A and B are shown apart, each in its own frame.
Chain A
Amino acid sequence: MNRAGTQALKPEPQPAEPGCQHPAAALALAAALYLMQLNRAASQDHFDYRFENYQEDNGRMGVQTQTWLFEKTVKPWLTLRGQVVYDAISGNTPIGSPPPSQIKSPFPLPPPLSTSVPTAFLRDNRWAGEFEAALNYGPHHLTPQFSYSSEHDYLSYGAALNYSLDLNEKNTSLNLGWAHDWDSILPNGATYIFTKQHKNTDDILIGASQLLGPNTVLTFDFTFRNSSGYLNDPYRGVLFDDYPQGDPNHPSLFAERRPDYRECYIAYASVMQYIKALRGSAEGSYRFYADTFGIFAHTVGVAWHQKIGPRLVISPLFRYYEQSAADFYGTQFAGDPSNPYDTTRIPAYYSADYRLSHMETFTYGAEVSARVLSWLTLNLGFKRYEMMGLDGVTSPSAYAHASILTVGSRVWF
């Protein structure tokens, strides 16, 4: 799910107060005029293109994403923004079984047994579009948005409404948001479903941005989300101990089973600090996440934006993420759901999706942005994404390690 960025306080300069008779008024007027110029440069209409190559190591998933975005202020009270995204997805993904060498079985398994989690090859394309109109009326900003996403196994329609209110001479901004997604999961030969399934998701956001001083912005958002319907991964299977395995290197699995309702509580805070002496800004953020699957997660991000000369900005970043496991996560489960005479109790919910395990991820890298011409900005970035299990049970081979290369441009018009 793509998530649009929080609307931050607009750093719009305002004209100096009329009637100021002392020398500070002249300075203020000069500063305001200068800032208005800066603001005009920052709010020009633009067209963005960005290519991202996400490639996991060892032949795992690869995704090539192309995004086209435009933003145009049609009237002072109306700004239109639209984007189109194309994803080309292919590669191997874990199917839900532990490595054959680690399968617990009442029957002896014949060697040789692989020590890596079994995977299946997947290929898909995704087209997605998003359109929004930002309506401004004094301190009120209302932004309706519509979105669409289509894959051969997934279809999503979304609507959202964001509202923000400037208060206190734009020192404070209150933000409210609502979004709803109508999703359909479509069957194919590789899924565990045979008929179309549905999922509905609502997001409600309340937040605020506050200037803490002339160099500091604090943002805080709280989001409540509930999802209902088919919440399983249709490709992910689960291995049961008592079910006989013919070839453990190609294990027989059962469809995973997750609850059909999920509530999420997300608190997000970020601080941006300008450091004049270094001609740079620091950005720090923290996110707390909890849901009714039993997952608690913490995310910490830091970034530095360094200006070099009049045209270049270098931005190194680091992000750390840690989550606990879902209540119903396991690498394999006791019993045999297909055998009515098996007395072992089958749990109500079960999943072996490694993304629900106790794990941590690290992201680090840098991006360079250069305004090579007055109407053209180019950027280039590279990041590494490392996932690591923390439960001591899930095989390290389940977790992905990826390189992410991005190349982009922005044309101002």
Chain B
Amino acid sequence: MRDVAVVGFAQSPQVRETTGTTNGVEMLVPIFAEVLSGLGLTKGDIGFWCSGSSDYLAGRAFSFISAIDAIGPVPPINESHVEADGAWALFEAWVKIQTGEVDTALVYGFGKSSAGNLRRTLALQLDPYVLAPLYPDSLAVAGLQARLGIESGAWSEREMAEVAVRSRRDAETNPNAQVAGSKDVDELLAQPYVANPLRRHDCAPVTDGASVIVLAAEERAHELVERPAWITGIAHAIDSAHLGARDLTTSPSTVIATQRAGGIDGVEVAELYTPFTHQELILRRDLGLGADVRITPSGGALAGNPMFAGGLIRIGEAARQIHSGNASRTLAHATGGPALQQNLVCVMEGRD
């Protein structure tokens, strides 16, 4: 296996609504420039480009092809796309580097959720025969999951609110966050339900945004940054699409992905992609993340949730903890599908 590291990361502000097109070009042009100039690279230095986005979200066909204009792909480039969060595009890029064909890759994800009705659009990712025709929206599916945990005693509405309070407090130091500010738990619990038993603070906000990561192999990574975030393990796994057959209070696929990615030993920071408060509680419990592990210091998806960029942001934020010397070993998690159906885990370390 080749050693591959995250060497660069940039993201757009996570905002409720942008005026741009759903092709992401307006959000991508500035962050490509930021990440490449930060590393002293130009587009010609990138061996492979890979993106994550969704035509359903964009409300048009081949939106990811229009997005490629942001690269300036003349002469032709080596490029691919996944209809999934950019974290899965990063997985593909990592595999591409493993083949030895390229030494560098630029991975990006983007989504303009504000163009449509996000919670309804997400119903269309469900089983097309027995679920999607009913349009069960994303808040409804998460609400069913949250109640199962509450009524089985696995977690409480108060613990869920505590997750939101911590997220908003952490987001105060994240200049890109959309939702920040201190509120206390009782204040949050006094708010009405939006999808009983979920309150607004339990749900990630609707967010437009984009993110980008540069990967580099071996010597190339050393040349580009002082302290690369070496990927020591990366894996993804998926649970059944049959929502009613899953135990929704657990996340077996996250556990499998974490084991395959090398486990949590020595992990100091975990950036978890949990668009609902109770989902963080599931992951902390299932992965055995104790009080010694700092959870999602960026504020996470509850502070801003650009679809198809949010999982990639978790990897970028976890890598940044290593770049800055704040941590030596970090874990990033990304999710896709309903109720934590598909999960990716990436473990990174700094080497002195």
To the question of whether A and B form a pair in one complex, the answer is no
Interface residue ranges, A against B (CB under 8 Å):
none
